[in-house]
């Protein structure tokens, strides 16, 4: 028996009753995820992005991102602990909350306890949510923002209650402080509404009020982009220069790796089910985000937010089919899901001993795993080179790194070894500080060594970085050099060392 939706725009619409929220299966999945992420949060070490975030000075924005994630990293470092597990607590909270929200989407679409529980458990232990919950990266809160905004959009459309557009606008505006990607979702949905409906929302004052609210909340971020010449566009172009060829190939198989293929069922069902006709725009949004990801070529995982919505939708018909299937079919499907979850845990989380990690395919599959290994060892090698300078030379010397991971590692582990704060020309660190004008000697670290030899009178590589456990990451095998006699003033040289990637 239908329930009557609120009166909006002078009319009422009959809707199906919404099932109860399946607290036990959903909350147990969220709790299990939290336990697993907390248990593994301190293993391996900082991710390179986490080292970078904790090093950035608070600001209204940066050349490569909005202000939120570095601010969170600083706060967790200063108020909780300067350890990986502390930085990761907000990421854990965001992904656990995302699990609760995708289950709520299933409920909104009419899925009962089985559908909600299956969605929650399979989402929680899928590859991408595990990675996003294990390290503090910009994707961690952004995933939550995409699914939360989508849940509110679904409520606005299915309940024909325009007030939910204000909630959408608030989430979208707040999400821009973590990453400027959620406008892709809104653009995709807008294109979808224009092409396949329901076009009546374009006549709703609530809809446009939600858009205005999003713009007002996001205004400081928009102002930062305008005042600074839209640095996010430069950053996107730099990422594309480095990643585009790989992204345009890898984005397709990773659609099936990040989340189980139930999302395919969801995409079909959203298009074909008459009761979900108002939600066809999500299929169009998925295509729009895929096209933008392919054309932009920055990162392969950008579609995961809308993919999660299709994934949630897919569990409604899949759970119904599951109940009608034979015991043998249910056992087989269950075994496949358990196998997928087990593989996801091994690939996404630091469950393999660091000493044997390098002999497995995991670092090649999950770059985030490789990027957590070796930092204290690398810094000790850099300290040995620094200590090889005379006391007089060290007094006016500096350390320059080729990337922000190396700089962040020295900033974290270097003070205990007597190292000064390092400099780097990568991304926001270029704008944060540069070597003093009187700097004559530099310990130069990393892949920019080939360029360094052209800007100093002499430059000699005296060591190469080795993590000692055979994990191949960006730092493994790069030189540590001593360079003397800069050929031009630092005000000029520093711009030459600037790079975005």
pLDDT tens-place string over residues 370-403: 999 999 999 999 999 999 999 999 999 999 999 9
SS3 state of residue 444? strand
Report how many helices (DSSP H) and strands (DSSP E) the chain contains, helices first. Answer: 26, 7
Residues 184 and 292 sit within 8 Å (Cβ to Cβ)? yes
Cβ neighbours around 337 below 10 Å, total: 17
Cβ neighbours of residue 177 under 8 Å, at least 6 residues apart? 66, 67, 68, 218, 221
Neighbours of 327 (CB within 10 A): 7
Per-residue pLDDT tens digits of the chain, which is 501 residues long: 334 444 333 333 445 688 999 999 999 999 999 999 999 999 999 999 999 999 999 999 999 999 999 999 999 999 999 999 999 999 999 999 999 999 999 999 999 999 999 999 999 999 999 999 999 999 999 999 999 999 999 999 999 899 999 999 999 999 999 999 999 999 999 999 999 989 999 999 999 999 999 999 999 999 999 999 999 888 888 888 888 888 899 999 999 999 999 999 999 999 999 999 999 999 999 999 999 999 998 889 999 999 999 999 999 999 999 889 899 998 998 999 999 999 999 999 999 999 999 999 999 999 999 999 999 999 999 999 999 999 999 999 999 999 999 999 999 999 999 999 999 999 999 999 999 999 999 999 999 999 999 999 999 999 999 999 999 999 999 999 999 999 999 999 999 999 998
The alpha carbon torsion through 436, 438, 443, 446 (nearest 10 deg) reads 50
What pLDDT score does 242 carry?
85
Supply the pLDDT for residue 15.
Answer: 52
Q: How far apart are CA 238 and CA 229, in angstroms?
A: 15
- Alpha-carbon distance of 145 to 182, in angstroms, equals 8
Give me the pLDDT at residue 266, please.
97
Query: How high is the pLDDT of residue 427?
Result: 95
Query: What is the three-class DSSP state of 390?
Result: coil
Structural Rg of the chain based on CA atoms: 25
For 158-175, give the secondary structure using H, E and C.
HCCCCCHHHHHHHHHHHH
Structure tokens at 51: 């080292």
Residue 5: both structure tokens together: 């939706």
Q: Are strands 441-445 and 397-401 parallel, antiparallel or unpaired?
A: parallel
Give the pLDDT of residue 11: 38
Q: What is the pTM of this model?
A: 0.93
**Cα(365)–Cα(470) distance, integer angstroms:** 16
SS3 label, residue 138:
coil
Q: Residue 15 and residue 285: Cα distance in Å, rounded?
A: 24
Distances (CA, A) of 98 to 121, 206, 479: 12, 26, 42
In sequence order, which residues have a C-beta less than 8 Å from that of residue 66 and are 6 or more positions away? 176, 177, 178, 179, 180, 221, 224
**What is the 8-class DSSP label of residue 44?**
S
**Any idea where the domains of the chain sit in the sequence?**
3-13+20-348, 375-496
């Amino acid at each position: 028996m239908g329930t009557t939706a609120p009166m909006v725009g002078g009319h009422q619409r009959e809707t199906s009753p919404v099932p109860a929220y399946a607290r036990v299966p959903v909350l147990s999945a969220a709790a299990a995820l939290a336990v697993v992420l907390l248990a593994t949060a301190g293993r391996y070490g900082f991710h390179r992005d986490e080292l970078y975030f904790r090093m950035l000075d608070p600001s209204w924005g940066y050349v490569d991102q909005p202000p939120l994630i570095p601010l969170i990293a600083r706060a967790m470092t200063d108020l909780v602990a300067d350890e990986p597990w502390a930085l990761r607590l907000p990421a854990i909270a965001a992904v656990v909350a995302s699990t609760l929200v995708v289950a709520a989407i299933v409920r909104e679409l009419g899925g009962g306890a089985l559908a909600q529980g299956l969605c929650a458990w399979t989402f929680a232990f899928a590859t991408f949510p595990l990675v996003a919950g294990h390290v503090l990266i910009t994707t961690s809160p952004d995933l939550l923002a995409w699914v939360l905004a989508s849940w509110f959009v679904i409520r606005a459309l299915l309940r024909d209650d325009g007030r939910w557009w204000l909630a959408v606008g608030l989430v979208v505006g707040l999400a821009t402080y973590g990453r400027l990607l959620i406008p892709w979702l809104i653009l995709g949905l807008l294109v979808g509404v224009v092409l396949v409906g329901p076009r009546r929302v374009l006549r709703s004052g609530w809809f446009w009020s939600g858009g205005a609210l999003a713009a007002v909340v996001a205004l400081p971020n928009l102002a930062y982009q305008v005042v600074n010449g839209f640095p996010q566009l430069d950053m996107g172009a730099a990422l594309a220069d480095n990643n585009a060829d790989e992204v345009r190939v890898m984005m397709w198989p990773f659609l099936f790796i990040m989340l189980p293929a139930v999302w395919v069922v969801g995409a079909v069902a959203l298009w074909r089910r008459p009761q979900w006709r108002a939600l066809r725009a999500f299929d169009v949004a998925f295509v729009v985000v895929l096209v933008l990801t392919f054309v932009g070529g920055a990162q392969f995982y950008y579609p995961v937010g809308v993919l999660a919505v299709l994934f949630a939708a897919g569990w409604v018909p899949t759970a119904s089919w599951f109940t009608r299937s034979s015991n043998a079919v249910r056992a087989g499907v269950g075994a496949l899901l358990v196998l997928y979850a087990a593989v996801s845990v091994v690939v996404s989380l630091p469950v393999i001993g660091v000493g044997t990690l390098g002999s497995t395919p995991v670092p090649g599959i999950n770059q985030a795993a490789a990027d957590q290994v070796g930092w204290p060892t690398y810094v000790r090698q850099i300290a040995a080179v620094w200590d090889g300078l005379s006391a007089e030379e060290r007094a006016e010397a500096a350390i320059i790194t080729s990337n922000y991971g190396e700089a962040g590692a020295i900033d974290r582990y270097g003070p205990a070894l007597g190292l000064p704060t390092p400099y780097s020309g990568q991304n926001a660190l270029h704008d944060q500080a540069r070597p003093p004008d009187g700097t004559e000697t530099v310990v130069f670290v990393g892949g920019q060594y080939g360029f360094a030899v052209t800007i100093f009178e002499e430059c000699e590589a005296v060591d190469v970085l080795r993590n000692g456990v055979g994990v191949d990451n960006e730092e493994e095998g790069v030189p540590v050099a001593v360079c003397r006699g800069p050929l031009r003033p630092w005000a000029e040289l520093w711009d030459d060392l600037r790079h975005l990637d």
